[in-house]
A and B are shown apart, each in its own frame.
Chain A
Amino acid sequence: MADLHFLANPARFRRFSQRVLPGLTFATVLGFAVGLYLALLQSPPDYQQGETVRIMFVHVPSAWLSMGGYALLAALGASLLVWRHPLAALMARAAAPVGACFALVCLLTGSLWGRPMWGTYWVWDARLTSMLLLFFLYLGHIALSRAYDDPDRGDRAAAILALIGVINLPIIKFSVDWWNTLHQPASIMRLDAPAIHPAILIPLLWMAASFLLLFILLVLVRTGTEIDRRRLEMADHLS
């Protein structure tokens, strides 16, 4: 925790991220090179799903990161409201669109996978619906943080929204699960019903790790951009 407080200073964070970024970029590229090789060439096609199972290697990590991203927004929101860390606001501003993109990638790849597997691009399945609602929560956060002339006000309003959203997410998830089981039987084949064979699990974990590195990389770069933008605005203000 002390180290995190140390990084709360934007200038120190800038120096830290500039030291970390080259190595992180290299690790991300390497991770994707190995992960994509394992996922697209090395792993066997599924006996039921055929080659379409490879969509999962993009779909599942995006789903994990979009959920983790919202938890990150809530944690950043809490640290902004409690400690008033200036960096938390900038990082939340940087992370929200990244998380929203991962949620969108998850929805799009899921729908592309659903077309050959379920015979339709979209079903009102509980998981699909709660991911869609998570995407809407991200959109609300992005829109609110940019809706004010005074950026600080937008940051703090969005922080409150992220905290309320994270309390509500389990309730939304529960009610959507309940809603779906009432209206249609659980007829849909689930990926996770059988235990995943190592031949597929290992590429999946490689891809998940690579996506995590990509997420961190994007958030660090975008946070740097937000710091620069805020500085430019301040300079504009003073001149």
Chain B
Amino acid sequence: MTGFLALLSRDLRLVWRRPGDVAVVLAFFVVATVLFPLGIGPQANILARIAAGVLWCTALFASMLSLDRLFAADHEDGSLDLLLLAPWPLELAALAKCAAHWIVTGLPLVVLAPLLGVSFGLPPEALIALAAALLVGTPTLSLIGGLAAALTLGARRGGALLALLALPLCVPTLIFGAAAIDTLMTGEDLLAHIAILAALALVALATTPWAMAAALRQAGE
């Protein structure tokens, strides 16, 4: 556990000293989202209808964009070899990296998305549903994306390949995440959707660290 916390705080400190990397990802999220009204037209009813799907898709893309470097920097400067040799499980190290990624990109998205939702004309209760769904759903994106990052570590054309691997696996989270906001229009139970998103996050939490560790061991060989 101390190793987990040490790695987590190290990653957070690294980001803190170079905040530009995160700012670029968040700027991408805002710009990509703003492009949709420009492309589709300013009709308020259409924008309110598509807001949930658009915000979830752009959050997914922003998450993928920042995952490219998750393990690559450690691989290049040799820290990954030390993690492989460390006396505590590699699964926890992979989990710590994903947790750091989520705190740095997932949480800001949870805060930013409702602000963008206002510009799409979402009602206040939909904004709360959006934030809640993103809060529960984005850890899954970080975990699955982290797995894709570990698998593509050292591969040619890594970035595009990472998205090709991770996006189909993120489909369930996307479906239930976007549907959670629609529940206010269809009159379904919001909590049921949040519970399924939480279940998906737990499945990812239970399966991906092992796969990530296996992939990282191969990269270290």
Q: How far is the CA of A176 from the CA of B174 in the complex (A)?
A: 10
The proximity string for B residues 156-195 relative to A, scoring 1 for CB distances below 8 Å and 0 otherwise, is 1110010011011101100110010000001000000000
Specify the main secondary structure of chain A where it touches its partner. Answer: helix
Are B164's CB and A165's CB within 8 A? no
Q: Would B155 and A171 count as touching, CB distance under 8 A?
A: no
The prevalent SS among residues of B at the interface is helix
Contact A153 B211, CB 8 Å, known A147-B152, A171-B172, A175-B171 = no
Assess the A144–B155 pair: CB atoms within 8 A. Answer: yes
B214: A residues at CB distance < 8 A: 81, 160
Number of interface residues of B (CB under 8 A): 30
Which A residues are in CB contact (< 8 Å) with B161? 140, 143-144, 147
Cα of A165 to Cα of B208 in the assembled complex, Å: 11
Q: Give the A interface residue count (CB, 8 A).
A: 30
**A157-B164 in contact (CB<8A):** no
Min CB–CB distance B195 → chain A (angstroms):
14
Measured in the bound complex, the distance between the Cα atoms of B171 and A166 in whole Å is: 14
B129 contacts the other chain (CB 8 A): no
Residues of A within 8 A of B131 (CB): none
- Which residues on B sit within 8 Å (CB–CB) of A81? 214
B207 at the interface (CB under 8 A from A): yes
Tell me the smallest distance from the CB of B147 to a CB of chain A, in Å: 7
- List residues of A (150-164) whose CB comes within 8 Å of B's CBs: 153-154, 156-157, 160-161, 163-164
Chain A residues in contact with chain B, CB under 8 A?
Answer: 81, 133, 136-137, 139-140, 143-144, 147-149, 153-154, 156-157, 160-161, 163-165, 167-168, 171-172, 174-176, 178-179, 182
Given contacts A133-B168, A144-B155, 13 further A-B contacts (CB under 8 A): A144-B161, A149-B156, A153-B221, A157-B215, A161-B165, A163-B211, A164-B169, A164-B207, A164-B208, A168-B172, A171-B172, A175-B171, A179-B175
Cβ contacts A to B, 27 pairs, < 8 Å: A136-B164, A136-B168, A137-B168, A140-B165, A143-B161, A144-B151, A144-B155, A144-B165, A147-B156, A147-B157, A147-B161, A148-B155, A149-B156, A153-B219, A154-B155, A157-B155, A157-B215, A160-B215, A164-B147, A164-B207, A168-B172, A172-B168, A172-B171, A174-B172, A175-B176, A176-B171, A176-B175
* Chain B interfacial positions (CB closer than 8 Å to A): 147, 151-152, 154-158, 161, 164-165, 167-169, 171-172, 175-176, 179, 186, 200, 203, 207-208, 211, 214-215, 218-219, 221
